[in-house]
Chains A and B, each alone.
Chain A
Amino acid sequence: MKKGELAIAAFLFLMGWWILWQATMLPHLSLSGPGPEFLPNLVGILLVLLSAMMFVNTWRGSAVTPEGFIPDRAGIIRVSTMVVGLFFYVVLLETVGYLVLTIIYTFYTVTAMSKFRWYTRLALSVVIPLIFYQGFVGFLEVPLPRGTIFGA
């Protein structure tokens, strides 16, 4: 955890300098008082200072990694599975459409994270999205992506 925190502090330190650099390219458009570059400059300076303080504090602190910080193999697989599933859900949502993609996503998630039999997984995958579809689109008239392939 200590190495991770030092890396984060270093990244934030560089990010602060990057923000300050970007701020120099902003136009000063105000006749009186600070302009649009004011907040980015303030943010950049504070980020540089705070990340430096975090770096020093972490360096001087304990190197013991708290229990449970690094998940076990099963935990890493579960988290990775979720992130991959979420990524493709977001990327494909507009193309495939809410209803079909959510059925596929639910089946994927329930399969990856449970030991239900295939027909239970299939039933859950269809029922849950349909309930939400009816509730939000049918009842509340919330528009959802219809998709260009299936139009649903």
Chain B
Amino acid sequence: MDNFSNLMMGFSVALTWQNLAAAFLGAFIGTIVGAMPGIGASAGIAMLVPVSFNYDATTSLILMCAVYYGCMYGGTITSVLVNLPGESASVMTCIDGYAMAKKGQAGKALAVAQIGSFIWGTLGVLAIMLIGPPLAEFALSFGPPEYFALMFLGLTCLSAMGEGSTIKALIMVVLGLFFASVGTDPLAGAARFTFGNFMFLNGIDFIPAAVGLFALGELLIEAETVIAMSFGKYSLREMILSKQDWKDSFGAWTRGGMLGFLVGALPGAGATISSFIAYFVEKKISKHPETFGTGEIQGVAAPEAANNAATAGAILHLLVLGIPGSGATAVMLGALMIHGLRPGPLLFTQNPEFVWGLIASMYIGNIVLLILNMPLVPVFVAILRLPYSVLVPIIVTVSMIGVYSVNNSMFDVGAMFVFGVLGYFFKKFDFPVAPMVLALVLGEMLERSLRQSLAMSHNDPSIFFTRPIAALLMAVALVSLLMPIVQSGMKRRKNEGEAAVA
């Protein structure tokens, strides 16, 4: 079946009332979650995962992808109107978006962001459609060494390219692997770190950890300094762009979107890094770089196109290779596995109605978001005006319900609380939590691939460097790990040199 026929089949799946409702609901919830500072896509998806178990895998993933996209749209609202990024991927939008709002151009900034997000959200889905199947064919040749190398690449890239210290990120990966090893060993069935307690035999589920770390941990951090958001003025009339606005934005959308998709497709890179890179590239090539930061339209267009394109890149990576590259896609992977689906190259051949249904729903989801977001900004602003004291019990209630409903287990609820407190301290001391969640989700697969590879080679680790694809992936992973160390050493030497000259 060619791509067009597959897509038509996908639309027949996506256009059922249940899946359409999931797309609408996910887009709406995702926009609100994305707009709330601190509660990002990972937390939003983690809280919805248990709710999605009431539905089949296709509907569940449509809901989660719509939330993911919605978060990218929603993060823009508070970035432009309040100078507070709702999502880490919207940080760069704050710079020129809020400056535009101060000049009375909030509506224009929102429109530029949302149109750019729509264009590249849609083109990103087109790229998934075109690149996905041949990439899946290629990935069929992967064996345990290639899968291990790919997961290793994902974990190292997320550690090296994320915010903050690489060493702290790697520590979080290792801690995630430790938590993943609690319970029963996946190959031999031995009990590990259970201390004779049967509750630990099933291991630590990733959902309580993800909800605790992302949602509760963030609530506790926000509790330190409760900020009352005061929104800037905007009007719907301003959202109609002039010919000059379209002309000014077009190039930035194009460059930002292409960069965003390529960077987002790298395991670990994600929408945040994509938006950073897109902004700085746009500033670098601009004829008037000094105007960036004062309300330059390209400063909004580029990062917003990038973060939506990156989302599509991350989903491509998840679906085709089965390796998530961010906290949000890590949670989605966990959800898919609970539904009995294993993302990877075989997914395209064994579950085409699921894959193409999802791709079709992403086209629909982008249209829904564009329609919802433009006129519904006043509604979202009204919801965001809810006081923090009211938001806390809502988020705690949704988190508790979500976590409890997975296994009807109070152990999971207790684990969520423990991870929530840990998440608070991790965030205080700048330990990034996404690598831990990713390692927890990948832990069993990683261990299985590693041990199978070593069994194949009779304990010879050179198997990872003698098979070409595995060797290439390992080389890229090691370079990504060493680069921050080398750069930091060069920077220190430069500073010492300058200090000596002074």
- Chain A contact residues, CB within 8 Å of chain B: 1, 4-5, 8, 12, 19, 22, 26-27, 29-30, 32-36, 38-40, 42-43, 46-47, 50-51, 53-54, 57, 68-69, 71, 75-76, 78-79, 81-83, 86-87, 89-90, 93-94, 98, 102, 105-106, 109-110, 112-114, 116, 124, 128-129, 132, 136, 140-145
A–B Cβ pairs within 8 angstroms, 8 of them: A43-B177, A83-B421, A86-B417, A87-B417, A110-B390, A128-B394, A143-B405, A145-B404
User: When A50-B174, A102-B397, A129-B397 are in contact, do A109 and B392 touch as well, CB less than 8 Å?
Assistant: yes
If A26-B190, A86-B420, A110-B390 touch, whether A33 touches B459 (CB-CB below 8 Å) is: yes
Interface residues of B in 172-223 (CB under 8 A from A): 174-175, 177-178, 181, 185, 187-190, 192-193, 216, 219-220, 223
Interface contact A78-B174, CB-CB below 8 Å: no
User: For A89, what are the chain B residues with a Cβ–Cβ distance below 8 Å?
Assistant: 396, 400
Is residue B451 contacting chain A, with contact meaning CB distance below 8 A?
A: yes
Q: What residues of B have a CB within 8 angstroms of the CB of A38 in the complex? A: 447, 450-451
Tally of chain B residues near chain A (CB < 8 A) = 62
B188 CB, min distance to chain A CBs, angstroms: 4
B414 beta carbon closer than 8 Å to chain A: yes
Which one of B82-90, B96-104, B163-171, B255-263 is at the interface? B163-171
**Are A29's CB and B188's CB within 8 A?**
yes
In the assembled complex, B455 has its CB within 8 A of some CB on chain A: yes
B429, A105: Cβ atoms under 8 Å?
no
Q: Evaluate contact between B224 and A40: CB separation under 8 angstroms.
A: no
Q: Can you name the residue of chain A whose Cβ is closest to the Cβ of B405? A: A142
Most buried by B among A22, A33, A75, A145: A33
* Whole-angstrom CA separation of A54 from B192 in the bound complex: 27
Rounded to whole angstroms, the CA-CA distance of A43 and B155 in the bound complex is 14
Q: Which residues of A contact B226 (CB under 8 A)?
A: 78, 113
Main SS class of interface, B: helix
CA distance A113 to B224 in the complex (A): 11
Q: Give which listed residue, B171, B400, B417, B424, contacts A79 with CB less than 8 A.
A: B424
Bound together, the chains give a CA A46 to CA B181 distance in angstroms of 14
Name B residues whose Cβ lies closer than 8 Å to a Cβ of A. 50-51, 54, 165, 167-168, 170-171, 174-175, 177-178, 181, 185, 187-190, 192-193, 216, 219-220, 223-226, 387-390, 392-394, 396-398, 400-401, 404-405, 408, 410, 413-414, 416-417, 420-421, 424, 428-429, 443, 447, 450-452, 454-456, 458-459
CA separation between A68 and B463, bound complex, in Å? Answer: 49
Given contacts A53-B167, A102-B393, A142-B405, contact A82 B454 (CB under 8 A): no
User: B408 touches which one: A54, A132, A136, A143 (CB < 8 A)?
Assistant: A143
| Residues on the A chain within 8 Å of B188, using CB | 29-30, 35-36
Question: Nearest residue in B to A143 (C-beta to C-beta)?
Answer: B408
CA distance A89 to B458 in the complex (A): 51
Task: Check if B401 sits within 8 Å of A144, measured CB to CB.
Answer: yes
Task: Give Cα A90–Cα B450 distance, bound, in whole angstroms.
Answer: 37
Known: A54-B171, A114-B389. A79 touches B224 (CB 8 A): yes
The smallest C-beta distance from A28 to any residue of chain B, in angstroms, reads 9
Separation of A89 and B171 alpha carbons in the complex (Å): 31
Docked pose: A75 CA to B392 CA in angstroms: 15
- Contact in complex: B223, A82 (CB < 8 Å): yes
CA distance A47 to B420 in the complex (A): 22
Contacts of A144 in B (CB 8 A): 401, 404-405
Give the shortest distance, in Å, between A35 (CB) and chain B (any CB): 6
Give bound CA distance, A31 to B54, whole Å. Answer: 42
Chain B: minimal CB distance from A51 (Å): 7
Given A86-B216, A141-B54: A32 in contact with B393 (beta carbons within 8 A): no
Q: Do the beta carbons of B454 and A47 come within 8 Å of each other?
A: no
Residues of A within 8 A of B54 (CB): 140-142
